[in-house]
A and B are shown apart, each in its own frame.
Chain A
Amino acid sequence: MTVTELPGQDDSAPIRKERSLYAESFIRLRKNKAAVVSLIFIVALALSAIFANVISSFDPAQQDLLANNAVPRWMLFMLPENAENYARFSDKFPLSADSLGRDLLSRTLHGARISLSVAIVAATVSLVIGTAYGSISGYLGGSVDNFMMRIVDFLYAFPFLITVILLQAYFKAIARTNDSSGIMGAVINLNNDMGGMLFLFIAIGLLNWIGMSRIARGQVLSLKQKEFVEAAHAMGASDTRIISKHLLPNIIGPLIVAETLAIPGYIFLEAFLSFIGLGVDAPTPSWGIMISEGVQGLRSYPNQVLVPAVFLSLTVLAFNFLGDGLRDAFDPKMKE
């Protein structure tokens, strides 16, 4: 008897395609309906924010005092019962106009630019700083690690919200000084061109890397004992190479998940700062500013609060679902 075939070597059996960890995760993510819908929503919102001028022809800062507080008919159900007596009904603005006669649809879409930019930029800044800080601290270990983590502990005890408020107040005050000389002048000009967004990015991004650095450090601490790192060491790889080529690719997944879950916080923070008047500069619309302006007329025109409020909540809801979906996809064990 000759053995021509080994058991299990059946050519007709489907061979499982080899996939990377990220491809596997992506397939799991695609099965999560809430996450997919959220991703579509975020992409659609981003596109409408980019093409805001095409979708809504009104300038978001253009006042039409003859049409202030104009309400389209279909929004009647949101208004108080006696609204027929005072409200100005006009279908000129699809999502009504605010107290200065500015189109709320345009303002909302331009506001989405602020919220989404803050989400992306603050997340990127805090991801980069936090990952670099945490992985260096965890990799070097010993007294360097101890010292770097004491700094983090120290910053953790700092009243974060208050520091952001003061930092923003400081940035806004120096932005008004018209000092256009040197590097600071260039930065101020850039900030003014961006409607005050640059300083907002700096204030939010600079103070949010602390939590990320702790996660990165924890990941590096557990990974650096692994054999493949030791092997890289034995082959004479430099520390920089080990961190960037061996450790970072392995820890970046959980970090991106953590960062996605942190995005709602950044969006809230921007809305909050704008609400108290320390966000973007006045003519630039932001959802926080729109809510704060709408609250003043809440009694008669609740629709002016509802429009930005619904967009803000839906966006945050989408990021929450997407973050949860990413977490489940990257780490199926956590789903249980």
Chain B
Amino acid sequence: MVTYIIRRILFFIPVLFMVLLFNFVLMRSLPGGPFSSVGERQLPPSVVASIEAQYHLDWPMWKQFVAYTIGDELIGGQGDAKGVIRGDFGESLKFRNQDVSTILKQSFPISLQLGLMATVLAIVMGVPLGVIAALRQNSWIDYSATFLAVFFLSVPNLVLAPLLVWIVALRLGWLPVAGWGAEKDFLLGIFPNPADWNVQYIEHALLPVFALGTASAAGIARLTRGSLLQVIREDYIRTARAKGLKERVVVTVHALKNSLIPVVTILGPIFAALVTGTFVVEQIFGINGMGKHFIASVGNRDYPLLIGATLIYAVVLVFANLVVDISYAWLDPRIRYD
């Protein structure tokens, strides 16, 4: 098991390197640059060139890539760039005198909190709904749960989010329209500061979390239902019933655990999608998360910010998949990694 985890983590290195290389080259190939205009005014080429030289954007691409990944000492730089492997994400080209790591430290925790809560909501809503639908198969409960699931799968968050704002926040006035209840100086760099643990935080979180999480909840409900229906017909469930176990024990202890394996399979992608897919929800609810920086930096050609955000997303994705693979072994002891 330990060797498996180590091997998997070693597999991350080439993946992350390729993500970095591919996206780095793609970004730098974009026509136009970060300094070609200030506002509406075009800068003269000589001024642009001198600013770009200051950020070493005039170097050949391979040199910039080396400087970004492992630092610029080896290729004759002054040690301005320490390289991403030493935790230096460089300086933002748009937000002057701000390190990318500072910007990301302020914005990524918000996206992460939003994504985490949406994942929890998806599980808490989806699994019970699927279980109830499966246990009452072909009853009206089953049909309405299935319909509800297909319905929420069909309403994307860029539809659901404005609808929630319009109905719950604007018409009914129950919850705030926009914003996020936690500011920087996060607990452990991720969680909201204890000072922010209050009703406002929850009020601000409810709508975006709901808008983000329901589609995944619907997917989980459908998968749980299908998987539980399959498991419940297995021989060992009949054996468990035959030896006189209570139905509740049969379902919760014997059937549910095995039926959750396919559910766990999609949890990794779901978590990654929810954390990284907050662009729309953040924009509609005016939340200062990482999604906003990500989209804006594409247009601003803010290469260091863009590649920093991309790397964080990639790391979240590969680790989510690793956790999923490890949890298989816990759910199904027949699965062994050697």
Q: Which residues of A contact B (CB under 8 A)?
A: 80, 154, 157-159, 161-163, 165-167, 169-170, 173-174, 176-177, 264, 268, 271-272, 275-278, 288, 291-292, 294-295, 298-299, 302, 305-306, 309, 312-314, 316-317, 320-321, 324, 334, 336
- The answer to whether A159 and B280 have CB atoms under 8 Å apart is no
- Choose among B26, B150, B295, B317 the residue that contacts A159 (Cβ–Cβ < 8 A): B317
Q: A173-B31, A276-B283, A313-B155 are in contact. List 16 more A-B contacts (CB 8 A).
A: A80-B171, A154-B18, A157-B317, A159-B276, A161-B276, A166-B298, A170-B30, A291-B159, A302-B166, A306-B163, A309-B163, A312-B156, A313-B154, A320-B154, A324-B150, A336-B229
Q: Is B145 an interface residue (CB 8 A)?
A: no
Chain B residues 47-74 with CB under 8 Å of chain A are none
User: Which chain A residue shows the least CB distance to B150?
Assistant: A320
- The answer to whether A276 and B295 have CB atoms under 8 Å apart is yes
Bound Cα distance from A272 to B291, whole angstroms: 13
Contact sample, A vs B, 22 pairs, CB 8 Å cutoff? A154-B15, A154-B18, A158-B18, A159-B19, A159-B272, A159-B310, A162-B23, A162-B310, A162-B313, A165-B298, A166-B23, A173-B32, A272-B279, A276-B279, A276-B283, A291-B159, A292-B158, A299-B170, A312-B156, A312-B159, A313-B156, A336-B230
- List chain B residues, Cβ under 8 A from A173: 30-32
Bound Cα distance from A334 to B277, whole angstroms: 31
CB 8 Å contact bits of B1-43 with A (1 = contact, 0 = none) = 0000000000010110011001100110111100000000000
Chain B residues 183-204 with CB under 8 Å of chain A are none
Bound Cα distance from A294 to B165, whole angstroms: 13
Chain B residues 247-285 with CB under 8 Å of chain A are 272-273, 276-277, 279-280, 283-284
User: Which chain B residue shows the least CB distance to A175?
Assistant: B31
Bound Cα distance from A309 to B233, whole angstroms: 41
- List chain A residues, Cβ under 8 A from B163: 305-306, 309
- Choose among B156, B283, B299, B313 the residue that contacts A271 (Cβ–Cβ < 8 A): B156
Q: Which 9 A-B pairs have the closest CB atoms?
A: A317-B154, A309-B159, A316-B154, A157-B15, A302-B166, A305-B162, A169-B298, A173-B31, A159-B314
- The answer to whether B153 and A264 have CB atoms under 8 Å apart is yes
Q: Is B106 an interface residue (CB 8 A)?
A: no
Interface residues of B, CB < 8 Å — how many? 49
Bound Cα distance from A309 to B164, whole angstroms: 12
Q: Which residues of B contact A (CB under 8 A)?
A: 12, 14-15, 18-19, 22-23, 26-27, 29-32, 150-151, 153-156, 158-159, 162-163, 165-166, 170-171, 226, 229-230, 233, 272-273, 276-277, 279-280, 283-284, 294-295, 298-299, 310, 313-314, 317-318, 321
Given A161-B276, A161-B277, A298-B166, A166 contacting B27 (CB threshold 8 A) = yes
- Choose among A154, A170, A272, A298 the residue that contacts B280 (Cβ–Cβ < 8 A): A272
- The answer to whether A294 and B29 have CB atoms under 8 Å apart is no
Bound Cα distance from A245 to B150, whole angstroms: 36
- List chain A residues, Cβ under 8 A from B170: 80, 298-299, 302
User: Which chain A residue shows the least CB distance to B218?
Assistant: A320
Bound Cα distance from A97 to B199, whole angstroms: 40
- The answer to whether A158 and B15 have CB atoms under 8 Å apart is yes
Whole-angstrom distance between the Cβ of B298 and the nearest chain A Cβ: 5
- List chain B residues, Cβ under 8 A from A324: 150
Whole-angstrom distance between the Cβ of A188 and the nearest chain B Cβ: 12
- The answer to whether A177 and B158 have CB atoms under 8 Å apart is no
- List chain A residues, Cβ under 8 A from B318: 157
Bound Cα distance from A166 to B301, whole angstroms: 11
User: Which chain A residue shows the least CB distance to B137?
Assistant: A336
Best-buried of B27, B162, B283, B321 by chain A (most CB within 10 Å): B162
- Choose among A163, A291, A295, A317 the residue that contacts B23 (Cβ–Cβ < 8 A): A163
Whole-angstrom distance between the Cβ of A258 and the nearest chain B Cβ: 15
Bound Cα distance from A140 to B19, whole angstroms: 29
Whole-angstrom distance between the Cβ of A100 and the nearest chain B Cβ: 19
- The answer to whether A158 and B26 have CB atoms under 8 Å apart is no
- The answer to whether A317 and B30 have CB atoms under 8 Å apart is no
